[in-house]
Chain A
Amino acid sequence: DIVMTQSPATLSVSPGEGATLSCRASQTVTSSLAWYQQKPGQAPRLLMYGASTRATGTPARFSGSGSGTDFTLTISSLHSEDFAVYFCQQYKSWPLTFGQGTRLEIK
């Protein structure tokens, strides 16, 4: 299985500041990578697919980059509603696998 490793586990940032979340794959996934946001008590929501394509409804302050094994999700200016847990997921090979998540918390 492809192992997805996210860093950091927790990121403390002040509203209005930017945040950068990382995701690394144990082998290449080309651009077959998605990002999800999960708020407490809610199901995950798709933010990004194809490493850099925003899903419908994802604000423009979210951007994704990377290919191969190293990926980044960047939030340019944090809003209060952005504090949540973020997961990456590869869909290059079966079984599809998720990272363990990065918790983005208010500093």
Chain B
Amino acid sequence: EVQLVQSGAEVKKPGESLKITCQGFGNTFTAAWIAWVRQMPGKGLEWMGIIYPGDSDTRYNPSFQGQVTISVDKSISAVYLQWSRLKASDTAMYYCAIGGLNWLAPWGQGTQVTVSS
């Protein structure tokens, strides 16, 4: 089974760029969709988008299209979530998880992103 380990917490200023990482460990990484999920403080879960590491096929929730970029480096089993210009409203916990078109399991431990001037 693939295990996912995410990069550490980030504190950024509005307008800055950021790329966070989800590292996969296990021999089925390239054969499974990876999803990114946002959880804003005290709120529910939002499906942002998914990527298939095998061929980099990427699909976005229309609510997040153009706001973030999901990419992969399958040579090192890493999936990325990137912002070019952060906003305060991007402050949230971000999770990666295995699964794209159905349920999600397992999940990474989460990366807290704080955007504040």
Main secondary structure on chain A at its contact with chain B? loop
Provide the bound-state CA to CA distance between A45 and B99, in Å: 13
Interface contact A95-B47, CB-CB below 8 Å: yes
Residues of B within 8 A of A94 (CB): 59, 61, 101
Contact with B along A77-91 (1 / 0, CB 8 A): 000000000010101
Additional pairs, 7, CB under 8 Å, beyond known A34-B103, A89-B103, A95-B63: A43-B107, A46-B104, A55-B105, A87-B45, A89-B104, A91-B101, A95-B62
Given contacts A43-B110, A101-B44, contact A49 B61 (CB under 8 A): no
B109 within 8 A of A: yes
Residues of A within 8 A of B63 (CB): 95
Given contacts A94-B59, A95-B62, A95-B63, contact A44 B45 (CB under 8 A): yes
A13 within 8 A of B: no
Interface contact A98-B102, CB-CB below 8 Å: no
Contact with A along B84-102 (1 / 0, CB 8 A): 0000000000010100011
Give, as a whole number of angstroms, the nearest-CB distance from A5 to chain B: 11
For B46, B97, B102, B110, which residue has the most chain A Cβ atoms within 10 angstroms? B102
Residues of B within 8 A of A96 (CB): 47, 101
Interface size band for B: 20 to 34
Given contacts A91-B102, A95-B62, contact A100 B44 (CB under 8 A): yes
CB-defined A-B contacts under 8 Å, sample of 25: A32-B102, A34-B102, A34-B103, A36-B45, A43-B107, A43-B108, A43-B110, A44-B95, A44-B104, A46-B104, A49-B102, A87-B44, A91-B101, A91-B102, A91-B103, A94-B59, A94-B61, A95-B47, A96-B101, A97-B47, A98-B46, A99-B44, A100-B44, A101-B44, A101-B45
B interface, CB within 8 angstroms of A: 43-47, 59, 61-63, 95, 97, 101-110
Could you tell me how many residues of chain A have their Cβ less than 8 Å away from some Cβ of chain B? Answer: 20
